[in-house]
Amino acid sequence: MTSSNLPLDASTLQLGSHVEQPNSPDEARLDRVPNPQSGVLYLARFTAPEFTSLCPVTGQPDFAHLVIDYVPKDWLVESKSLKMYLTSFRNHGAFHEDCTVAIARRLADLLEPVWLRIGGYWYPRGGIPIDVFYQTGEPPKGVWIPEQGVASYRGRG
C-alpha cells in the first residue's frame, strides 16, 4: 500500500490538540502520518539532546543525547507525538540500553521503515558514559546517511 492510498484523519492526531503528558512510555501514544514521498529513498533525523529517564536502581535522573535516523517507507512519525513519547521517559526507570533499544523497536514496529538506527549518547553514570547503538539492518544503498555528529564523552579533558 502506498502513502497515496492512506487517508490522513487529522482529528485522530495529537497534533493541534492539547495533550496531557503521558506518565510512562507504555501510556504514550505515537502517531504516524502518510509519507508524501513514499517510494523515494531519503533520511529523516530527529535529535533529542536533552533526553532524560530515571535510573531503575537509585531513582536518580539519567541524561542522554539521542539521534534517531530512519529511511521511511509509507509512514512518517508525527513529531509532536514523538516529543511526548520521549518526554514520557522522564519518570520511567530503565537502564540506558533498555531505553535506547525500546525507543528504536517501538518506532520500527510503528513505521515499518526501510531502515532505522538510533544512537543513545548517555552522560556518565558512576563515572562511566554508556553509549548504546541499534539499527534494523544494513543501510540502503544510495541514501546519504551523515555521521550522527555526537562526540565521545571526554569530560573536562
**Cβ contacts of residue 96 below 8 Å, gap of 6+?**
62, 64, 120, 122, 125, 130, 132
Question: Which of the residues 9, 26, 31, 55 is marked catalytic?
Answer: 55
Number of separate helices (H) and strands (E) present in the chain: 2, 6
Determine which one of 9, 31, 62, 109 is catalytic. 62
Helix (H) or strand (E) holding 107: helix 96-111
CA-to-CA distance for 121 and 100, rounded, in angstroms?
A: 9
Give the containing element (helix H, strand E) for 106: helix 96-111
* 62 annotated active-site: yes
Phi, psi of 39 (to 5 degrees): 95, -10
- The type of residue at 91 is N
- Annotated catalytic residues are 55, 62
